[in-house]
Amino acid sequence: MHCLPSRRTQWLILWTILSAQTVALAETLPGNIVTINPDNVLVINGRKVFPIGVTMAPLPEAKTPDGKSGLQELADAGMTFFRTGPHGEDNWDERAIATEQQWEDAAAKHGLYCWLYLKNLSGLTGKNTKQEAMLRRVVNQFKDHPGLGLWKGADEPELSHKKVPALVRTREIVRELDQDHHPLVLMQGPRGTVESLRPYDAACDVTGLDIYPVSYPPGKNSLLPNKELSMVGDYTKMMMQVTEGKMPVWMVLQIAWSGVVKPDTTLRFPTFPEERFMTYQAIINGARGLNYFGGNIGTAMSPEDRALGWNWTFWNRVLKPVILEIGTKSPLAPALVAPESKLPVKENQGQSVEFCVREVGVDIYILACKREGATVEVEFSGLPPALGEGDLMYESPRKVQARNGKFTDWFGPFEVHVYHFHRNE
C-alpha cells in the first residue's frame, strides 16, 4: 500500500513548483516579483530574503565620512531595502513622482529595494477621484521598476484611527494593477490590542509595529507596564497573535525618534548591546523582517553628520556591527530565512530566557536572549543526542559542549548568544 504525503508535504511540493515558475517568470519581466512563502519569508525573484531596511536612507547622492556612496555602504553591510515616498508634510504630486524616480533608480543601481510609502494615497474613500487617479498613476509608473520591492500603506493606522474599508480599497487597486508582484506592508504604532489591530490585516500582506524603548524616562514610547528593552519582544509576540501566523510580522526598531529629539526631551540612543538585544529578541519572537527608524533626523546628528545628511556616527558605532551579524552576507543569513525547527528544544529558566531554533541542512542554530533580571545559568535540552561541540557565533573563541542533547551557558540581563552546531551524520 502506498502512503500519501502529508498536507504540509503536498503544500511544500506545490510551493517548490510555484517558486521555480516565479524565477522563470521574473526573467521575462522588467521589474521584481516579490512573494511570501509558507514560512512567511519574503522571496524576491525566487531568492529567500530576510529584509532589513532603514527609514529614511541617505540621499541617493550622499556620501559616508570617507567618501563612499551612502547607499552602497548600506548594501555592503547586508541591508536590503529603504523607505521612500513623500516625507514630512509632503504628499504625492509631480515633484514627489520625480523624486521617487531618483530613489528607484538609485536603489536598482546599488542592489537595494524601495519600500514605497503611499502616504495620502493609502486610504481611498471612493469619493476622491483625483486621489484614486494619482494612486493608479504611482502604481503604474513604479510597479515594473527594478528598484521597487514593497508598497507601504498607511502609517500606524489603528493609532491614527484610519478606516479599514478605505485601506482595503487601496490594497485592492494596488493588487489589480500590480498583480501581487509586490506585497503591501502596514506598520502599527505601539498602542491598541490584538482585537483592535487584527481588522487591519485585511488591508495588507505584511504587518508589524514600531517600538522605541530607549529614552529618558525609559520606555515612554509604550503605555504598557513593561518599560524595559524587552518590550520589543512583548510587542512582537502581540503582533504574532494579531496575524495568527497568516502573514509575516516585521518590526521597526530605534535609531532615534520624536521622544528623544524634541526640545523638551533628552537625546538618547541605543548602545550596541541594546540594539543587538532588541534586534535578536524581535527575531526570536517571530519577526521575519526589520527596519530601523531615525537615521535621517537632523536634530539627532552631530554637526559633521548633519553636513552629510545622515547619522553615520550611530551607523558606525552601533547599527553596522548589528547588521553585519544578520545581513544578507552574514554567516547567520541562511538561518534567518529557514522555517522554525521541529526539534523539541527546551530551557530551564522559564520566561526570562527566549529562544528560537532553526535548521539549515546539517546545521542547527539556536538564537537565545535573556530579559531583564539576574544573571542565570541556563540548560538547553532536546537537541539530537549525537551533537558535540558548538560555536558561539560572534563570540569566538567561546564554545559549548553538548552531551546527550544538553548543554549549559550563562546569560546576563539583555545578553544574546547565537549557537551553531553541526549534526554528526
Three-state SS annotation for the chain: CCCCCCHHHHHHHHHHHHHHHHHHHHCCCCCCCEEECCCCCEEECCEEECCEEEECCCCCCCECCCCCEHHHHHHHHCCCEEEECCCCCCCCCHHHHHHHHHHHHHHHHCCCEEEEECHHHCCCCCCCHHHHHHHHHHHHHHCCCCCEEEEEEEECCCCCCCCHHHHHHHHHHHHHHHCCCCCEEEEECCCCCHHHHHHHHHHCCEEEEECCCCCCCCCCCCCCCCCCCCHHHHHHHHHHHHHCCCCCEEEEEECCCHHHHCCCCCCCCCCHHHHHHHHHHHHHCCCCCEEEECCCCHHHCCHHHHHHCCCHHHHHHHHHHHHHHHCCCCCCHHHHCCCECCCCCEECCHHHEEEEEEEECCEEEEEEEECCCCCEEEEEECCCCCCCEEEECCCCCCEEECECCEEEEEECCCCEEEEEEECCC
**If pLDDT is split at 50, 70 and 90, which confidence band does 12 have?**
very low
Please classify residue 106 by burial: count the beta carbons closer than 10 Å to its beta carbon, then call 0-12 exposed, 13-18 middle and 19+ buried. Answer: buried
222 and 108 both lie in a single domain: yes
Does 11 have pLDDT greater than 50?
no
Confidence at residue 425, expressed as pLDDT on a 0 to 100 scale: 64
219 and 354 both lie in a single domain: no
Q: pLDDT tens, 211-243?
A: 999 999 999 999 999 999 999 999 999 999 999
- Cα–Cα distances (Å) from 26 to 23, 90, 146, 200, 226, in that order, read 5, 34, 11, 30, 45
Q: How far apart are CA 268 and CA 133, in angstroms?
A: 43
Averaged pLDDT, 100-127: 96
In a domain, 218, yes or no: yes
Greater confidence (215 vs 424) lies with 215
Does 387 have pLDDT greater than 60?
yes
CATH of the domain at 60: 3.20.20.80
Confidence at residue 7, expressed as pLDDT on a 0 to 100 scale: 45
119 and 187 both lie in a single domain: yes
Q: pLDDT tens, 56-108?
A: 999 999 999 999 999 999 999 999 999 999 999 999 999 999 999 999 999 99
254 and 284 both lie in a single domain: yes
Confidence at residue 288, expressed as pLDDT on a 0 to 100 scale: 98
Query: Bridge-partner residues for 83, per DSSP?
Result: 115
Q: How far apart are CA 242 and CA 405, in angstroms?
A: 34
Q: Which of 336, 363, 395 delimits the end of a domain? A: 336
318 and 300 both lie in a single domain: yes
Going by DSSP bridges, is the β-strand pair 399-401/389-392 parallel, antiparallel, or unpaired? antiparallel
HSE-up of residue 304 (Cα within 13 Å, Cβ side): 6
Q: How far apart are CA 51 and CA 233, in angstroms?
A: 18
Q: pLDDT tens, 284-314?
A: 999 999 999 999 999 999 999 999 999 999 9
C-alpha triplet 178, 236, 166: angle, nearest 5°:
40
Domains: count for the chain:
2
Averaged pLDDT, 188-198: 98
In a domain, 24, yes or no: no
329 and 200 both lie in a single domain: yes
Query: Bridge-partner residues for 210, per DSSP?
Result: 252
**If pLDDT is split at 50, 70 and 90, which confidence band does 125 have?**
confident
Confidence at residue 351, expressed as pLDDT on a 0 to 100 scale: 87
Sequence-distant (≥ 6) Cβ neighbours of residue 2 within 8 angstroms = none
Domain residue limits at 398: 346-422
Averaged pLDDT, 397-413: 98
Averaged pLDDT, 238-261: 98
In a domain, 204, yes or no: yes
Confidence at residue 8, expressed as pLDDT on a 0 to 100 scale: 45
In a domain, 416, yes or no: yes
Q: pLDDT tens, 135-180?
A: 999 999 999 999 999 999 999 999 999 999 999 999 999 999 999 9
In a domain, 410, yes or no: yes
Please state whether the predicted TM-score (pTM) of the whole model is above 0.85: yes
**If pLDDT is split at 50, 70 and 90, which confidence band does 2 have?**
very low
The closest of 142, 153, 173 to 31, measured between CA atoms, is: 142
251 and 162 both lie in a single domain: yes
246 and 375 both lie in a single domain: no
Query: Bridge-partner residues for 117, per DSSP?
Result: 152
Confidence at residue 30, expressed as pLDDT on a 0 to 100 scale: 73
24 is written with which cell numbers?
522563470
Does 258 have pLDDT greater than 70?
yes
In a domain, 2, yes or no: no
CATH of the domain at 360: 2.60.40.1180
Q: pLDDT tens, 310-348?
A: 999 999 999 999 999 999 999 999 999 999 999 999 999
In a domain, 291, yes or no: yes
Residues 174-201 as b/e (b if ≥16 CB within 10 A, e otherwise) read bbeebeebbbbbbbbbbebeeeebbebb
Q: Are 247 and 208 in contact (CB under 8 A)?
A: no
Does 4 have pLDDT greater than 60?
no
78 and 159 both lie in a single domain: yes
Q: How far apart are CA 123 and CA 204, in angstroms?
A: 12
105 and 192 both lie in a single domain: yes
Q: Which of 284, 318, 336 delimits the end of a domain? A: 336
324 and 379 both lie in a single domain: no
Does 10 have pLDDT greater than 80?
no
In a domain, 28, yes or no: no
Q: How high is the mean pLDDT of the chain?
A: 94
Q: Which of 276, 301, 336 delimits the end of a domain? A: 336
Confidence at residue 22, expressed as pLDDT on a 0 to 100 scale: 42
100 and 231 both lie in a single domain: yes
Q: How far apart are CA 37 and CA 43, in angstroms?
A: 7
